[in-house]
């Protein structure tokens, strides 16, 4: 690591544990603390970037394993270290096998061991960032060169490719997908495979299926292959949440771009393109291509939410499951359920929302 202090976020519902860890580690690292998984996600969003997150396994409402699964989706370059009791060792090992965490340590853990693991975790994350950056630039540049050597940049095919990529990138931002390199590469290859299919000679079969099969055998490309395999129909969605969401985004962006090129009426194109995707992705695309009102972020008590507002963050339940996803527009029945959950303290009291404030015409005026 360089001379800059490694930024570490400590997460535990016991304040005394946090204070003890902070005293032990603050001389060598830049330390921040959170007393719940919800607070940790907020701090990662508002106060990041962090190099390492260390979390207790057993916490109320959101376990460390659930927290790390969410962090992996949103901030994949953060090293994740889980502190567990012996009874949780099997769950922690499973989390490692699924790629959710970098390492787990049994409690109690002495300061020198924890510091050593923090340094190794931060180094590992930095190396992965560097390797991925080189891979992204190299493969993306190669794919773009092949794509644009095949078609006139002013042709309908080139415009379709660019529109699909732009929509996919915009949609990724709308649904808060941070790990976008696989999606960006898959968007290029998705268009390229379509072009190759129509340009194929009788002796070749460079279709999407063949391209996917070849990618699946390449190191670091298996995720892109799974995204491409799931994109056309949504069948066999990848188990990995980042890959699954990426495939859904690409399918939605590709469908809408094709319908748009065919000059299908915008509202109908939006309806058709979002027919088989989640509400999270459908709402995101609607905000990008069909917004007739301007929305501004604010905070609201869950007990005071009204129909029509859009959630600007995931709302988690006590077990860490997403009860209402970011991007959903609240209906009267959803508001009624949220009010009940707030009254019984099943959800946190406040949530970030997007509320309609004015129309574009009012903005110009």
CATH at residue 103:
3.40.50.2300
Residue 312's CATH number:
3.90.105
pLDDT of residue 147: 60
Same domain assignment for residues 276 and 309: no
pLDDT tens string 266-302: 777 888 888 788 888 888 888 888 754 445 678 899 9
Same domain assignment for residues 118 and 168: no
Chain mean position to CA 51:
17
Same domain assignment for residues 241 and 303: no
Same domain assignment for residues 176 and 304: no
Domain boundary residue, one of 289, 304, 325: 289
Same domain assignment for residues 340 and 231: no
Other beta carbons less than 10 A from residue 333's beta carbon: 9
Average pLDDT over residues 245-249: 91
Same domain assignment for residues 282 and 175: yes
- Of the listed ranges 231-235, 265-269, 301-305, the least confidently predicted one is 231-235
142 lies in some domain: no
Average pLDDT over residues 347-357: 80
Of the ranges 90-99, 168-177, 226-235, 285-294, which is most confident? 168-177
Number of domains in the chain: 3
Cα 61 to Cα 346: distance, rounded to the nearest angstrom: 8
| Confidence band for 53, pLDDT divided at 50, 70 and 90 | very high
Same domain assignment for residues 233 and 308: no
> Among candidates 180, 72, 165, which has minimal Cα distance to 55?
72
- Of the listed ranges 22-36, 233-247, 268-282, the least confidently predicted one is 233-247
263 lies in some domain: yes
Q: In what order do the strands lie in the sheet with 310-311?
A: 294-301, 350-358, 310-311
Tokens 């490694």 correspond to 6
- Of the listed ranges 44-48, 117-121, 145-149, the least confidently predicted one is 145-149
156 lies in some domain: yes
198 lies in some domain: yes
pLDDT of residue 239: 76
Higher local confidence (pLDDT), 149 or 168: 168
pLDDT of residue 201: 46
pLDDT of residue 318: 74
Same domain assignment for residues 339 and 260: no
The three-state (H, E, C) secondary structure of the chain, written as one string = CCCCCCEEEEECCCHHHHHHHHHHHCCCCEEEEECCHHHHHHHHHHHCCCCEEEEECCCCCCCHHHHHHHHHHHCCCCEEEEEECHHHHHHHHHHHHCCCCCEEEECCCCHHHHHHHHHHHHHHHHHHHHHHHHHHHHHHHHHHHHHHHHCCCCCHHHHHHHHHHHHHHHHHHHCCCCCCHHHHHHHHHHHHHHHHHHHCCCCCCCCHHHHHHHHHCCCCCHHHHHHHHHCCCCCCCCCCHHHHHHHHHHHHHHHHHHHHHCCCCHHHHHHHHCCCCCHHHHHHHHHHHCCCCEEEEEEEEHHHCCCCCEECCCEECCCCCEEECCCCECCHHHHHHHHHHHHCCCCCCEEEEEEEEECHHHHHC
262: pLDDT strictly greater than 90: no
| Confidence band for 364, pLDDT divided at 50, 70 and 90 | very low
pTM over 0.85: no
Residue 241, judged by CB atoms within 10 A of its CB (0-12, 13-18, 19+), counts as: middle
183 lies in some domain: yes
Domain assignment of residue 59, given as a range: 7-126
Same domain assignment for residues 275 and 308: no
36: pLDDT strictly greater than 70: yes
132 lies in some domain: no
146: pLDDT strictly greater than 60: yes
194 lies in some domain: yes
307 lies in some domain: yes
Domain boundary residue, one of 245, 271, 289: 289
Average pLDDT over residues 62-82: 84
| Confidence band for 225, pLDDT divided at 50, 70 and 90 | confident
Provide the sign of the torsion angle of the four alpha carbons 271, 272, 273, 274, taken in this order.
Answer: positive
Same domain assignment for residues 74 and 197: no
pLDDT of residue 97: 58
Same domain assignment for residues 275 and 299: no
Same domain assignment for residues 84 and 197: no
pLDDT of residue 148: 59
Domain boundary residue, one of 262, 289, 316: 289
Of the ranges 50-59, 143-152, 213-222, 330-339, which is most confident? 50-59
Cα 32 to Cα 40: distance, rounded to the nearest angstrom: 10
pLDDT tens string 307-341: 777 787 888 887 777 788 776 777 777 888 899 88
């Amino acid at each position: 690591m360089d001379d800059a202090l490694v930024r570490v976020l400590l997460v535990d519902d016991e304040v005394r544990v946090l204070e003890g860890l902070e005293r032990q580690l603050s001389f060598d690292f830049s330390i921040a603390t959170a007393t719940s998984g919800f607070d940790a996600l907020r701090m990662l969003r508002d106060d990041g970037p962090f190099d390492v997150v260390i979390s207790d396994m057993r916490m109320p409402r959101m376990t460390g394993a659930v927290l790390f699964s969410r962090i992996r989706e949103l901030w994949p370059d953060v090293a994740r270290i889980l502190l567990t009791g012996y009874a949780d060792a099997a769950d922690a090992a499973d989390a490692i096998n699924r790629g959710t965490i970098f390492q787990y340590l049994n409690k109690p853990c002495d300061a020198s061991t924890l510091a050593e693991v923090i340094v190794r975790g931060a180094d590992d994350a930095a190396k992965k960032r560097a390797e991925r950056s080189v891979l992204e630039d190299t493969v993306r540049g190669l794919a773009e060169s092949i794509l644009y050597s095949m078609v006139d940049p002013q042709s309908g095919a080139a415009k379709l490719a660019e529109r699909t990529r732009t929509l996919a990138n915009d949609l990724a931002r709308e649904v808060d997908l941070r790990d976008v390199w696989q999606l960006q590469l898959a968007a290029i290859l998705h268009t390229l495979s379509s072009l190759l299919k129509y340009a194929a000679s009788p002796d070749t079969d460079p279709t999407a299926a063949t391209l996917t099969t070849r990618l699946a055998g390449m190191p670091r490309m298996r995720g892109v292959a799974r995204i491409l395999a799931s994109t056309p129909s949504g069948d066999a969605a990848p188990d990995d949440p980042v890959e699954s969401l990426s495939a859904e985004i690409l399918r939605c962006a590709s469908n809408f771009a094709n319908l748009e090129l065919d000059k299908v009426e915008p509202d109908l194109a939006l309806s058709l393109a979002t027919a088989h995707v989640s509400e999270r992705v459908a709402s995101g695309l609607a905000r990008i291509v069909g917004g007739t009102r301007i929305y501004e972020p604010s905070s609201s008590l869950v007990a005071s939410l009204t129909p029509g507002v859009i959630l600007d963050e995931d709302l988690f339940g006590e077990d860490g499951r997403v009860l209402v996803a970011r991007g959903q527009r609240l209906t009267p029945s959803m508001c009624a359920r949220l009010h009940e959950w707030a009254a019984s303290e099943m959800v946190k009291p406040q949530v970030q929302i997007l509320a309609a404030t004015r129309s574009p015409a009012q903005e110009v005026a």
